[in-house]
Chains A and B, each alone.
Chain A
Amino acid sequence: MNGEAVAAPQKRMLIFTRSVKGKFRRFKWSMLVLAYAVYFLLPWLPWTRQSGPSQPILFDIPGRRFYVFDLVMYPQDVLWLAMLLFIAAIFLFFVTGLVGRAFCGYYCFQTLWTDFFIWIEGKIQGERPARIRLHKQPWNAEKALKLGATHFAWLLVSFWTAFTFVAYYAPAGQLLREFFVGAAPAAAYTTTGILTFTTYLAAGFMREQICAFVCPYGRFQSVMYAPQTLAVHYDARRGEGEKGRLAPRQGLKTLEERHAQGHGDCVDCGYCVQVCPAGIDIRDGLQYRCISCGLCIDACNQIMDSAGFPRGLIRYDSEENLARPVPAKPHIELRNFRVIGYGIALALMVGFLVYNIATHQPMAVVVNQVRQPLYTTLANGDVRDAYHIRITNSSRRDEVYAISAKGLPAGALQLAFHDVPIKTGRSVEVYAWVRLGPQHAAEISRFHFVVTPRSEPDKAWTGVARFFSAAGEADGDNE
């Protein structure tokens, strides 16, 4: 700060995007419809279960159960969630290595909601010039009405987005009834309030600022580009020629005329800049603000068509290909060390997760030895140890579990319940006692509990348990 001039932070330039038609625009719309259909409809679809909510996906936090279609997840299955997040991360890397920031451009909820908000804005306020005019004009009835309607629509969408999110955590129908009479839990109101506000703020106001300054994924995806990675590029060599881009005028209308005078194919119409939701000029080269949505490709292709020039001045291509003297046809390059590595990791992790879920035990058993007292001397001198066996039925149907022991003399095992009926999703704790005569008590220090589901005897659970007695204690070691 030694008297040097410091650039003041640049004031944000508001972006008014122009609409465009083309295959990327169509793809974006179809992704949006698909994503919204899944997100907004899923809580309202019926789903039949033997026990549990009649909703396909429900994260029951107080009940500590995650219902995902026909899968019921218990707290001990949190590994699956961790695996899913790992897989999602690796999948993102994998896709980024192939086609750049495809996630940002087509799937990210920031992109989807911003896109939808801009669509609402366009429906109410009109096309780009109309919106700019409205923005610049002083406040009057028209401006108040149009802006008010826009913000009201945004708020409605934000609210429904937030409410739908909450509906994944509470039975949707019941929540809806309770919500508007003030009977829903405080957490529902708080969450809906916060998400309404953040959705409104992020999709209505912050928009591309989120991608540029808030989101870490966009930034670290940039470093995952390889030279072979496909990304949205402007073919500068073709567009600029030797003397640069130039608007068409008399004598500069056909390609032959332009090439003869050294000008490129870019007619400098600015359409690609106007359609960009990130507000950048793709002709400046690949840049961190580019979310790779392809709208500039649609825009440029439209102009090229009308001028009678070949398409693809802006296109998906790789840096490597563009640097070639004669660029080849752009294609997805799988032969890349990084991409292959991510692919292998992805396959292994998905395989592990599928295997883990498929071979999931239909029950969880925990045996706790009672340690106070560690053992009890009985009237006739026998020694008895006590155990608490907790069985959780994590299968999808009611089940009866039989408890037995291996490695004990006949009659040594006493149980509060021999056959334990447990409803699906419930736990029962069974008290068990092992009673041994002084002779056996001195000899036996280990045995096994066996818990067998009656309907699936092959999936029996076996766990080691220990037997303590004064004899073992006197030796100082029970092993």
Chain B
Amino acid sequence: MSQNPSQQGQQAVQTTGHVWDGDLQEFNNPLPTWWVYTFFATIVFSIGYWLIYPAWPIGNTYTRGFDTITYVDKAGQKVTSHWNTRALLMEDMNKAAAFQKPFFDKVLATPYEQIAKDPELENFVMATGHSLFENNCASCHQTGAQGLVGHYPNLTDDDWLYGGRYAQINYTITDGRHGYMPTFGEVLEPAQIDDLANYVASLSGIHADPAKVAAGRQLFHSDTAGCFYCHGEQATGRHVIGAPNLTDQIWLWADVPAHHTAQGKIEAIRKVIYNGVNKGVMPAWGDRLSPVDIKVLTFYVHNLGGGQ
């Protein structure tokens, strides 16, 4: 486009008439008319936009615009604010909550056993329960509720510290739990703890020293160690205080499955007896989740496969 305008014949582009250095001229190529009008239209549009939406910063505040959004906040108060995306989100959340309400009402009104017989309702509860679980529970119990040995119990198996019936699970979630086992290292001789570890291992079918097992059995049921107070005469545990069953294949505090030799497994048990347990804390959710949320979570946990 830089050729001399004089070469362009009849279709020569006009110049602005300015001339520098003798021959340096400026073309006058006006913008297309439609483009100019579109540009003006955007200016007109923007004025309407300023009036409706937040637009101009003024000092440490800004023009708020005339458009408003009304929503119900978490405290149940009706709030009217100028248009902003946070209020828009609240409004959308209100809409979603209103949409879900009939379903939750139905869940609240239906007994657990009935929910389990209705495929569509069960699907709703399991799907909702899954997202509630992921948001609130998975940070400890892990995304699949499989727990973490040494820290958080596995919720998918059929062993329950505090009971696996609906009412027991609901109680556990609502009020929380606190498991405790004394530090026997301070009370018993190392040899005694070794005997106990061998005995406990034998209960689960792990190969242990028969002499130590015999000594351990006696100690377990004696007032010296007093294990049977909590774990019971048969060592099958007590749900009321969350004392685990020692005769099954499930381990929470002692990482027995990680060891492949009997020696290693017994050592893992010995450590737990020596140190005791004072970290089995499940927080209370009664003041953080609504009753229907807890009901949904109870059903979800129960129906992961281990419910009783």
Contacts and interface: CB of A to CB of B under 8 A. Distances in A.
Contact of A381 (B120, B143, B249): B249
The size class of the interface chain B forms with chain A is 20 to 34
A145 interface: no
A417 B119 contact: yes
A303 to B, nearest CB: 44
Given A378-B249, A379-B245, A428-B123, A384 B154 contact: no
Chain B interface SS verdict (over half): loop
Contacts of B8: 3
A5 B119 contact: no
A379 B305 CA distance: 13
Interface string B98-132: 00000000000000000010011011001100000
Interface stretch (B156-164, B227-235, B268-276): B156-164
A371 B144 contact: yes
Given A373-B144, A378-B249, A420-B119, A5 B154 contact: no
Interface string B235-274: 0000000000100111000000100000000000000000
Nearest to A429: B123
Contacts of A428: 119-120, 123
B218 interface: no
Interface string A378-401: 111100101000000000000000
A431 B304 CA distance: 8
A416 B303 CA distance: 8
Contacts of A421: 119
A416 B305 CA distance: 9
A303 B9 CA distance: 49
A5 B10 CA distance: 9
Contacts of B33: none
A363 to B, nearest CB: 14
B305 A431 contact: yes
A179 interface: no
Interface in B132-148: 142-144, 146
A3 B7 CA distance: 6
A377 B249 contact: yes
B9 to A, nearest CB: 7
B99 to A, nearest CB: 13
Interface string A1-36: 111011000000000000000000000000000000
Contact of A377 (B9, B142, B157, B205): B157
Given A379-B157, A379-B248, A381-B249, A372 B142 contact: yes
Contacts of A373: 144, 146, 154, 156
Contact of A376 (B119, B122, B123, B157): B157
Nearest to A385: B305
B10 to A, nearest CB: 8
Interface string A393-417: 0000000000000000000001011
Contacts of B157: 376-379, 384
A147 interface: no
Nearest to A438: B249
A421 B257 CA distance: 41
A109 interface: no
B11 interface: yes
Given A381-B249, A416-B116, A376 B143 contact: no
Interface in A53-99: none
B257 A433 contact: no
Interface string B279-306: 0000000000000000000000001111
Contacts of B143: 372
Contacts of A372: 142-144, 146
B3 interface: yes
A210 interface: no
Nearest to A373: B146
5 contacts: A3-B3, A372-B142, A378-B157, A381-B249, A470-B257
Given A372-B144, A376-B157, A378-B158, 19 more contacts: A2-B3, A3-B3, A3-B9, A5-B9, A371-B144, A372-B143, A373-B144, A376-B146, A376-B154, A376-B156, A378-B157, A379-B159, A384-B157, A386-B304, A386-B305, A416-B122, A421-B119, A429-B127, A430-B119
The 3 closest A-B pairs by CB, nearest first: A372-B144, A373-B146, A379-B248
